[in-house]
Amino acid sequence: MRFSLSSSALSSKLNILSKVINPKNAMAIFDCYLFEIQDGKLIITASDSSNMMRLSLDLIEHDSNGAFCVPNKIMLTSVKELAEQPLVFDVNTEDYSIEMNYMNGSYHIYGQNPAEYPKMKGIEGDYTSTTISSEVLLNNINRTLFATAQEELRLVMNGLCFDLKEDYLAIVASDGHILVRNRLYDCKSDFPASFILPKKPATLLRSVLANDPSDVTIRFSESSAEVLFNNGILSCRLIEGRYPNYNSVIPQDNPNRLTIDRKAFISALRRILPFAGESTQLVKLRIDYNNMEINSEDIEFATSARENLVCEYGGMPMSIGFKGSSLYEICNNLTSDDIVIELADPGRAGIITPAEQPEGEDVLMLIMPMLLND
């Protein structure tokens, strides 16, 4: 079997798929890519047993259909070092010896029998389907992923909750200290359903959706999901269980509203955070009429920092503490020029939203306060 293709196109696909493969696998075949030649296309599959991704690319030429497995590390490294040029494969389908010829040389390796590679299983039983713009999905994954937890007792908190309602799709993440809720009003269903996507497949989707202008179709059942995108598919197991009632923890009546320049706030937090205690990372906000004072202190090393920022605020004067790193992450994962912080009192959660919401969306982030000594 002989075929040729662009070396840079192959390298790009292999680099994405390499993120699927675990460093250590229970089965040696999962250390390989599955290459399948089908009617002028090369379909490459990678798997770690829980997640399987398949990407396709066009061939320059080929003489027949067929399949073989190749070791991922040597293939990824060797192709990455090549400048853009045609790469010609000659494969012996009896012993799976592979000759790869390029402009100034060749590689010779042995592959494995493709019959040993597990097949991609479709979704079994009833499933729910929804379609979403790849750009919107990518933006929401980027905005939400940082808020997922790393818990052993509550595994449901370790992923993104996709909650499909009659009026919108909510994409939610929380670690118990912060919460992100995105509502997409262009996605809705007459039959509400939800699933919890683990972090790894969510991270894999970030890699493939970055330059994809098409729509994405998500099909999911109780235990598995398929995400169909341009020139590829991701199949994964879901986190089983019921996600906590996230809406119940979001305050509905925070009357004190503050508007501030997001980038200026981020810059101030960057300067103030190094002076906060390493264990607590407490940052204190003293808010008065159109003024915010940010300060931090590390009693152990006798260091402190303070900075004033102009803001729009007409509520009651207040001092409230937050974990500085969490506050920074929230602001850094918003994109609007200004952000709105809604507060009630120093003991209740603060709500942070973009001053201008993305079209067709509603973005909300929640952060729990920290107790102050004064």
Predicted confidence pLDDT, tens digits, the chain (374 residues): 999 999 999 999 999 999 999 988 878 899 999 999 998 999 999 999 899 999 999 999 999 999 999 999 999 999 998 999 999 999 998 999 999 999 999 999 999 999 999 988 878 788 999 999 999 999 999 999 999 998 887 899 999 999 999 999 999 999 999 999 999 999 988 899 999 999 999 999 998 998 778 899 999 999 999 999 998 999 999 999 999 999 999 999 899 999 999 999 999 999 999 999 888 899 999 999 999 999 999 988 889 999 999 999 999 999 999 999 999 999 999 999 999 999 999 999 999 999 999 999 999 999 999 987 76
Residues 354 and 263: their CA atoms lie apart, in Å, by 12
Task: Identify the pLDDT of residue 212.
Answer: 77
Residues 163 and 243: their CA atoms lie apart, in Å, by 9
For 143, which DSSP code? H
For residue 196, the cross-strand partners are 161
Task: Identify the pLDDT of residue 153.
Answer: 78
For the whole model, what pTM was predicted?
A: 0.92
Q: By C-alpha distance, which of 119, 123, 114, 72 is closest to 236?
A: 123
| 161 touches 170 (CB < 8 A) | yes
Residues 140 and 249: their CA atoms lie apart, in Å, by 21
Task: Identify the pLDDT of residue 213.
Answer: 81
Q: By C-alpha distance, which of 254, 352, 270 is closest to 309?
A: 270
Q: Which helix (H) or strand (E) element contains residue 328? A: helix 324-332
Task: Identify the pLDDT of residue 7.
Answer: 95
Query: Hey, what are 225's tokens?
Result: 């999901």
For residue 321, the cross-strand partners are 284, 370
Task: Identify the pLDDT of residue 374.
Answer: 60
DSSP code per residue over 278-317: TTT-EEEEEEETTEEEEEEEETTTTEEEEEEEE-EE-S--
* Strand, coil or helix: 224: strand
Residue keyed to tokens 């709500």? 351
Cα–Cα–Cα angle for 249, 250, 255, rounded to 5 degrees = 135
Task: Identify the pLDDT of residue 301.
Answer: 85
Task: Identify the pLDDT of residue 123.
Answer: 84
Alpha-carbon 239 to chain mean position:
15
Residues 83 and 86: their CA atoms lie apart, in Å, by 10
Strands 361-367 and 350-354: antiparallel
Task: Identify the pLDDT of residue 130.
Answer: 94
Q: By C-alpha distance, which of 324, 325, 320, 329 is closest to 349?
A: 320
Residues 246 and 144: their CA atoms lie apart, in Å, by 14
